[in-house]
């Protein structure tokens, strides 16, 4: 039993603690260790909401992270235009408007010319080779060094495989047919097309149908049969050309705001990187499986005319590609290192693939 003096002290302590009240939600979150916090992120994309493969990839990433983290990292995905414009993703994540983004590095050529090499290079690495360069050839480390001044951490989060050359409203029989042709084609491929006499235009995927329908453009590349069928491009263009010289293995990126990244405990960082790596492979698997049937549907059900680009057109594009890629490397020291690393890996892997992948496909 407490004495009178002890009772007074006890009552005083109770009253003092009562006056403090319950901690506010903000105080509770701030006091909780990172391992016990629930993080809620926004992810903005350059793709229309739930577009097959491209648009569903960030949704799959968010679902995987939620399950693997047991709900400790929740990511809400916003399609192009829902929170920021399609081409506003880089700035939004860099500035912290959203913690994460999903897009393609060649859309940021205006800010960082060499960034295009982390999406695709005309006549460059295919998907398998690109993954090898990024994850085992030093590419990812260079990519993160390039984005560091923008407070961004990039990682591969999807690949289309070799794309189609695109949809055209007129036949391409020679280089003369490229002259003055207005085509939606981004990245280094767009620069090559421009030098070949065409007019390169960059338009978000959600605007392609209307632009082609109204004559704003005469042709467009997008991805391949699976995605192109979903956008309905066959309804407004008759000729479907191959091969996809301009995008032989387009890598999509997940970018994370550095401050948001640094708040995460190590296990959530690992979960996020693992999910991105899984999505990167899953998208390639999906395109590989779905493009076949989609192409059959385009030809058999919709009467699309499948054409191969003429040899002289491909030869000229290849010649100009070498010039464009060499020039983009001259912008600064880091750009040269990125270029040299990529091109050395390309040379080495081509030598091996001549007697492995390519030799097998030819024999098959």
**Can you give the pLDDT at residue 34?**
66
- Same-domain pairing of 332 and 254: no
pLDDT in tens, 64-90: 999 999 999 999 999 999 999 999 999
Has residue 135 been placed in a domain? yes
Which domain covers residue 69, as residue numbers?
A: 33-161+249-288
DSSP line for 62-101: HHHHHHHTTTSEEEEEE-TTTSS-GGGHHHHHHHTSSSEE
pLDDT tens column, 231-245: 999 999 999 999 999
> What are the start-end ranges of the H helices in 118-265?
127-136, 139-147, 187-195, 208-213, 225-231, 258-263
Same domain, 123 and 233: no
135 and 192 housed in the same domain: no
How are strands ordered across the β-sheet holding 39-45? 73-78, 39-45, 100-103, 251-257, 152-159
Residue 24: pLDDT over 60: no
User: Quick one: pLDDT at residue 330?
Assistant: 85
Q: Which of 158, 335, 172 is nearest to 238 (CA)?
A: 172
130 lies in the same domain as 157: yes
90 and 143 together in one domain = yes
Question: Looking at the structure, do residues 80 and 194 belong to the same domain, yes or no?
Answer: no
- Whether 12 is covered by a domain: the verdict is no
Specify the CATH number for the domain of residue 134: 3.40.190.170
Q: Within this chain, do residues 233 and 256 fall inside the same structural domain, yes or no?
A: no
- The predicted pLDDT at position 35 comes to 72
Mean pLDDT across the stretch 88-113? 97
Same domain, 131 and 145: yes
Backbone φ and ψ of 360, nearest 5°: -65, -45
- If one counts the domains in the chain, the total is 2
Q: Is residue 2 part of a domain?
A: no
- What local confidence, expressed as pLDDT, does residue 33 receive? 65
**CATH code, domain carrying 234:** 3.40.190.10
Could you tell me if residue 157 is inside a domain? yes
Q: Percent of the chain scored above 70 by pLDDT? A: 90
16 found inside a domain: no
**In-domain check, residue 329:** yes
* Pair 150, 84 in one domain: yes
Does 281 lie in the same domain as 207? no
In a domain, 146, yes or no: yes
Instruction: Evaluate whether residue 82 is within a structural domain.
Output: yes
| Together in a domain, 234 and 278 | no
Mean of pLDDT over the chain? 92
Same domain, 70 and 86: yes
């Amino acid at each position: 039993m407490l004495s009178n003096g002890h009772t007074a002290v006890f009552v005083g302590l109770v009253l003092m603690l009562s006056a403090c009240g319950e901690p506010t939600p903000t105080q509770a979150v701030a006091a909780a260790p990172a391992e016990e916090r629930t993080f809620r992120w926004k992810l903005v994309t350059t793709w229309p909401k739930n577009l097959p493969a491209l648009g569903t990839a960030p949704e799959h990433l968010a679902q995987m992270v939620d399950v693997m983290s047991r709900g400790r990292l929740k990511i809400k995905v916003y399609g192009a235009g829902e929170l920021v414009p399609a081409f506003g993703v880089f700035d939004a994540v860099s500035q912290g408007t959203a913690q994460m983004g999903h897009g393609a590095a060649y859309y940021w050529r205006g800010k960082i010319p060499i960034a295009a090499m982390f999406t695709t290079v005309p006549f460059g690495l295919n998907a398998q080779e690109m993954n090898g360069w990024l994850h085992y050839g030093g590419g990812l480390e260079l990519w993160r060094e390039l984005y560091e001044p923008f407070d961004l951490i990039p990682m591969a989060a999807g690949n289309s495989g070799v794309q189609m050359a695109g949809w055209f409203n007129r036949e391409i029989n020679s280089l003369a047919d490229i002259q003055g042709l207005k085509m939606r084609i981004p990245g280094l491929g767009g620069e090559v097309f421009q030098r070949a006499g065409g007019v390169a235009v960059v338009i978000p995927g959600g605007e392609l149908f209307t632009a082609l329908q109204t004559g704003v453009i005469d042709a467009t590349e997008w991805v391949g049969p699976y995605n192109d069928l979903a956008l309905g491009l066959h309804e407004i263009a008759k000729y479907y050309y191959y091969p996809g010289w301009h995008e032989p293995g387009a890598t999509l990126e997940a970018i994370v705001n550095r401050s948001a990244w640094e708040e995460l405990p190590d296990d959530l960082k690992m979960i996020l990187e693992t999910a991105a790596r899984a999505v990167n492979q899953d998208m390639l698997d999906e395109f590989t499986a779905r493009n076949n049937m989609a192409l059959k549907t385009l030809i058999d059900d919709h009467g699309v005319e499948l054409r191969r680009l003429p040899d002289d057109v491909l030869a000229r594009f290849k010649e100009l590609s070498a010039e464009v890629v060499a020039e983009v490397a001259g912008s600064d020291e880091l750009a040269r290192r990125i270029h040299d690393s990529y091109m050395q890996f390309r040379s080495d892997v081509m030598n091996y693939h001549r007697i492995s992948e390519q030799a097998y496909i030819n024999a098959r």
